[in-house]
Amino acid sequence: MTELIRVEDLRVVAGDERGEVEIVKGVSFSLKKGEVLALIGESGSGKTTIALALLGYARRGCRLSGGVVQVGEHDMLALSEQQLQGLRGNRVSYIAQSAAAAFNPAKRLIDQVVEGALIHGLGARAELQAKAIGLFRDLALPGPERIGQRYPHQVSGGQLQRVMAAMALISDPLLVVLDEPTTALDVTTQIDVLRAFKRVVRERGTTAVYVSHDLAVVAQMADQIVVLNGGQILEQSATAPLLKKPSHEYTRSLLAAARPDTTIRPPCGIAEDVPLLTISGLTAGYGNKNMQGMPSIRVLEDIDLTVRRGQAIGVIGESGSGKSTLARVVAGLLTPALGGLTFDGQPLGGSLSERTPEQFRRIQMVFQNADTALNPMHSVATILSRPLKMYFGLKGAALQTRIDELLDLVRLPRAMAERRPNELSGGQKQRVNLARALAAKPDLILCDEVTSALDTVVGAAILELLRDLRQQLGVSYLFISHDISTVRALCDDIVVMYSGHKVQAGSRQSFAEPPFHPYTDLLIHSVPELRQGWLETCGTACDALPTVGERANVPELCTFLNRCPVRIDGLCNRTAPSRRTLDNGGEILCHHDSAQLLNTQQGVTTMTLGAYA
Amino acid sequence: MNNLIAKSKPVSSALALAKASSGPSWLGLVGGVVCVAWLLVALFGPWLAPHPVGEVVSDNIFEGFSLTHPFGTDYLGRDMLSRVLVGARFTVGLALVAALLASTFGTGCALLSVVSPKWLDEIISRIMDAFISIPSKMLALIMVSAFGSSVTLLICTAVISYIPGSFRVARSVAVNIEALEYVQVARTRGERRLYVACMEILPNMLNPVLTDLGLRFGYIVLLLSGMSFLGLGVQPPDADLGSLVRENIGGLNQGALAIIIPALAIGTLTISVNLLIDYLSSRRSRRTGGH
Q: Determine the pLDDT at residue B6.
A: 35
Q: Name every chain B residue with its beta carbon within 8 A of the beta carbon of A20.
A: 10, 13-14, 17
A156 or B127, which is more confident: B127
Alpha carbon distance B283, B25 (integer Å) = 9
What's the rounded mean pLDDT across residues B37-58?
Answer: 83
Contact A60/B at CB under 8 A: no
Q: Name every chain B residue with its beta carbon within 8 A of the beta carbon of A420.
A: 288-289
What's the rounded mean pLDDT across residues A303-319?
Answer: 90
Q: Determine the pLDDT at residue A386.
A: 92
Q: What is the ipTM of this complex?
A: 0.76
Beta bridge pairs of residue A66? A11
Q: Determine the pLDDT at residue A435.
A: 92
CB contact under 8 A, A386 and B189: yes
Alpha carbon distance A312, B46 (integer Å) = 74
Contact B7/A at CB under 8 A: no
Q: Determine the pLDDT at residue A539.
A: 58
Alpha carbon distance B255, B238 (integer Å) = 24
Nearest to B18 among A17, A357, A373 (CB): A17
- CATH topology classification for B47-287: MetI-like fold (1.10.3720)
What's the rounded mean pLDDT across residues B1-22?
Answer: 38
Nearest alpha-carbon partner for A161 in A190, A118, A198: A190
CB contact under 8 A, A15 and B13: yes
Phi and psi at residue A311, to the nearest 5°: -95, 150
Looking at chain B, the whole-number percentage of residues with pLDDT higher than 70 is 90
Looking at chain A, the whole-number percentage of residues with pLDDT higher than 90 is 22
pLDDT beyond 70 at B20: no
Alpha carbon distance A483, A285 (integer Å) = 24
Contact A385/B at CB under 8 A: no
Q: Determine the pLDDT at residue B241.
A: 83
For residues B74 and B247, is the Cβ–Cβ distance under 8 A?
yes
CB contact under 8 A, A355 and B185: no
Mean pLDDT score of chain B, rounded to an integer?
82
Q: Determine the pLDDT at residue A449.
A: 86
Q: Please give, one letter per residue, the 3-state secondary structure of B143-206.
A: HHHHHCCCHHHHHHHHHHHHHHHHHHHHHHHHHHHHCCHHHHHHHHCCCCHHHHHHHHHHHHHH
Question: Which one of B8, B182, B195, B206 makes the best mutation probe of the A interface by having the most chain A beta carbons within 10 Å?
Answer: B182
Where in chain A are the domains? 3-249, 275-511, 518-612
pLDDT beyond 90 at B109: yes
A126 or B149, which is more confident: A126
Alpha carbon distance A316, A321 (integer Å) = 9
Q: Which of A327-336, B71-80, B129-138, B155-164 is the least confident region?
A: B71-80
Question: Which one of B7, B178, B189, B287 makes the best mutation probe of the A interface by having the most chain A beta carbons within 10 Å?
Answer: B189
CA torsion through residues A606, A608, A611, A613, sign: negative
Contact B184/A at CB under 8 A: yes
Q: Which band of pLDDT confidence, cut at 50, 70 and 90, is reported for residue A307?
A: very high
CB contact under 8 A, A13 and B10: yes
Q: Determine the pLDDT at residue A110.
A: 92
pLDDT beyond 80 at A606: no
Q: Determine the pLDDT at residue B5.
A: 35
Residue A360: helix, strand or coil by DSSP? helix
CB contact under 8 A, A377 and B190: no
pLDDT beyond 90 at A552: no
Q: Per-residue DSSP letters for chain B?
A: -HHHHHHHHHHHHHHHHHHHHTHHHHHHHHHHHHHHHHHHHHHHHHHH-SS-TT-B--SSSS----SSSTT-B-TTSBBHHHHHHHHHHHHHHHHHHHHHHHHHHHHHHHHHHHHS-HHHHHHHHHHHHHHHTS-HHHHHHHHHHHH---HHHHHHHHHHHHHHHHHHHHHHHHHHHHTSHHHHHHHHTT--HHHIIIIIIHHHHHHHHHHHHHHHHHHHHHHHHHHHHTT-SSPTTS--HHHHHHHTGGGGGGT-HHHHHHHHHHHHHHHHHHHHHHHHHHHHHHHTT--
Q: Determine the pLDDT at residue B280.
A: 81
Mean pLDDT score of chain A, rounded to an integer?
85
Q: Determine the pLDDT at residue B3.
A: 39
DSSP designation for A563 = G
Question: What is the Cα gyration radius of chain B?
Answer: 24
Looking at chain A, the whole-number percentage of residues with pLDDT higher than 70 is 96
Q: Per-residue DSSP letters for A506-524?
A: EETGGGTSS---HHHHHHH
Buried b (16+ CB within 10 A) or exposed e, A333-344: ebebbbbebebb
H helical segments located in A104-245? 109-119, 125-138, 157-169, 187-204, 215-221, 239-244
Say yes or no: do domains A3-249 and A275-511 share a fold.
yes
Nearest to A17 among B13, B21, B184 (CB): B21
- CATH topology classification for A3-249: Rossmann fold (3.40.50)
pTM score, whole prediction: 0.79
- Collect contacts of A14-19 with beta carbons under 8 A, ≥24 apart: A14/A61, A14/A62, A14/A63, A15/A61, A15/A62, A15/A63, A15/B13, A15/B14, A15/B17, A16/A61, A16/B17, A16/B21, A17/B17, A17/B18, A17/B21, A17/B22, A18/B14, A19/B10, A19/B11, A19/B14, A19/B17
For residues B90 and B192, is the Cβ–Cβ distance under 8 A?
no
Nearest to A372 among B180, B190, B289 (CB): B180
What's the rounded mean pLDDT across residues A345-361?
Answer: 88
Q: Which band of pLDDT confidence, cut at 50, 70 and 90, is reported for residue B19?
A: very low
Q: Determine the pLDDT at residue A18.
A: 67
Determine how β-strand A444-448 pairs with β-strand A363-366. Answer: parallel
pLDDT beyond 80 at B128: yes
Q: Which band of pLDDT confidence, cut at 50, 70 and 90, is reported for residue B290?
A: very low
Q: Is A59 left (phi over 0), alpha (psi -120 to 50) or beta?
A: beta
Q: Which of A141-150, A377-386, B279-288 is the least confident region?
A: B279-288
Where in chain B are the domains? 47-287
Task: Of A449-458, B81-90, B95-104, B147-156, give the range with the top mean pLDDT.
Answer: B95-104
Chain B residue with CA closest to A365: the answer is B185
For residues A207 and A174, is the Cβ–Cβ distance under 8 A?
yes
Nearest to A422 among B188, B191, B289 (CB): B289
The pLDDT tens digits for A196-205 are 888 888 888 8
Q: Determine the pLDDT at residue B289.
A: 52
What's the rounded mean pLDDT across residues A497-520?
Answer: 87
Q: Determine the pLDDT at residue A600.
A: 77
Alpha carbon distance A556, B72 (integer Å) = 88
The pLDDT tens digits for B263-289 are 888 889 888 888 888 888 777 776 665
Q: Name every chain B residue with its beta carbon within 8 A of the beta carbon of A374.
A: 182
Contact B117/A at CB under 8 A: no
Q: Determine the pLDDT at residue B163.
A: 93
A346 or A549, which is more confident: A346
Cα–chain-centroid distance for residue A452? 6
Q: What is the CATH number of domain A275-511?
A: 3.40.50.300
Q: Name every chain A residue with its beta carbon within 8 A of the beta carbon of B291.
A: 376
CB contact under 8 A, B190 and A13: no
The pLDDT tens digits for A27-49 are 999 999 888 999 998 877 888 88
Question: Which one of B26, B177, B181 makes the best mutation probe of the A interface by having the most chain A beta carbons within 10 Å?
Answer: B181
